[in-house]
Amino acid sequence: MVEHLGFGRRLFLGVNYAALAALALLCLLPLIHVLAISFSSSQAATAGLVKLWPVEFTVSSYEFVLAKPAFTQSIGVSLQRVLLGVLVNMLLTVLIAYPLAKEAKKFPYRTAYVWFFVITMLFHGGLIPLYMTVKYTGIMNTLWALVLPNAVPVFNVVLLLNFFRGLPKELEEAAFMDGAGHWTTLWRVMVPLSAPALATITLFATVGHWNAWFDGLIFMNSPDNYPLQSYLQTVVINRDLSLVSSSDLKALAEVSDRTAKAAQIFLGALPILLVYPFLQRFFMKGIVLGSVKE
């Protein structure tokens, strides 16, 4: 089919492919550079000798992090947080987005409720009120302190309610005519049709919970309850020796700030890189969804 295209069209496609390939390479090179630094010696990384291939290959940074029992425990906390947090996020997002997607004549004061949520994206009560709320509700130093303050991601709610509003109204009307109520319509009609949007906001929620580190530092009184990112921030980045045993001091001396940060970045990104291929087909479906109309 390509041979039937004119020279101008082929040139246009060639330039587009070259530009997209260059853009993809620009996105990939930083990750390769970080990976190379994480496997290089601290001397080579500090001297700036590492480009796209490890220099004086070593796994000291990974050994320092992976050999510690506290690291394994922090992974467990992060996994629990992601599983529970994403479940709570998705459940509340769906339950809030469905009624807000209705027209004003079907849901009076819909606009007021929408602004009630949207205003939280514009104004924040501040860190001290948030800390006091978590403390006096009795969830300090528990997993719920990492989940409940971010239980309703308003941005995801806005995305999903707009997706709901774009679905054909006839499907919902047909469900009601068959005797279905709102609960049945939501879970049997709306949710299955919203798989691309749900996959997208699930990835957003997963990344948000996995990468969060600051709330772990302020809401957890014991380092034993730190999620992975909070643990790495404290031990590897800030080099807090109070959390490091004497047997780890030698390994810590062999790890430079640059190689440790590179190892942290790659370990933090690895779970998301493993999850994304399973959600890619939903993203591809979401791109073409609604592009063909009867």
Cα 89–chain centre separation: 12
Confidence of residue 131 (pLDDT cuts 50, 70, 90): very high
Tokens of 179: 């005797």
Q: Is pLDDT at 1 greater than 50 in this prediction? A: no
* Rounded Cα distance, 261 and 272, in Å: 18
The answer to whether 75 and 135 have CB atoms below 8 angstroms apart is no
Is the alpha carbon torsion for 282, 166, 84, 234 positive or negative?
positive
pLDDT at 166: 86
Residue 293 reports pLDDT greater than 50? no
State pLDDT tens for residues 50-100: 888 888 888 888 887 777 788 788 889 999 999 999 999 999 999 999 999
Question: Residue 257 above 70 pLDDT?
Answer: no
The mean-pLDDT minimum among 25-29, 204-208, 250-254 falls in 250-254
pLDDT at 268: 75
pLDDT at 255 over 80: no
Please tell me the predicted confidence (pLDDT) of residue 84.
96
- What is the model's pLDDT at position 294? 37
pLDDT score of 94: 95
Q: Which of 17-21, 88-92, 103-107, 134-138 has the lowest mean pLDDT?
A: 103-107
Cβ neighbours, 10 Å, residue 78 = 26
Q: Does residue 250 surpass a pLDDT of 60?
A: no
* CA–CA distance, 111 with 236 (Å, rounded to integer): 47
Percent of the chain beyond pLDDT 90?
26
Q: Is the dihedral of CA 273, 151, 117, 127 positive or negative?
A: negative
pLDDT average, residue stretch 179-204:
88
Confidence of residue 178 (pLDDT cuts 50, 70, 90): confident
Higher pLDDT: 236 or 118? It is 118
Half-sphere exposure of 10 (CA within 13 A, CB side): 7
The arithmetic mean of pLDDT across residues 173-200, rounded, is: 88
Question: Is the distance from CB of 227 to CB of 145 less than 8 angstroms?
Answer: no
Confidence of residue 248 (pLDDT cuts 50, 70, 90): low
Q: Compute how many other C-beta atoms are within 10 angstroms of the C-beta atom of residue 248.
A: 17
- Segment among 26-40, 135-149, 259-273 with least mean pLDDT: 259-273
Higher local confidence (pLDDT), 257 or 250: 257
- Per-residue pLDDT at 284 exceeds 80: no
Mean confidence (pLDDT) of the chain: 83
Question: Is-contact 230 43, C-beta < 8 A?
Answer: no
CA–CA distances in Å: residue 187 to residues 91, 170, 252, 265: 11, 16, 52, 38
Distance from chain centroid for Cα 50: 29
Q: What is the pLDDT of residue 291?
A: 42
Q: Are the CB atoms for 94 and 210 separated by under 8 Å?
A: no
Residues 6+ apart with CB under 8 A from 80: 143
**pTM for this entry:** 0.77
Written as six digits, the tokens of 245 are 């045993």
User: Is 197:159 a contact under the CB 8 Å cutoff?
Assistant: yes
Q: Are 264 and 236 in contact (CB under 8 A)?
A: yes
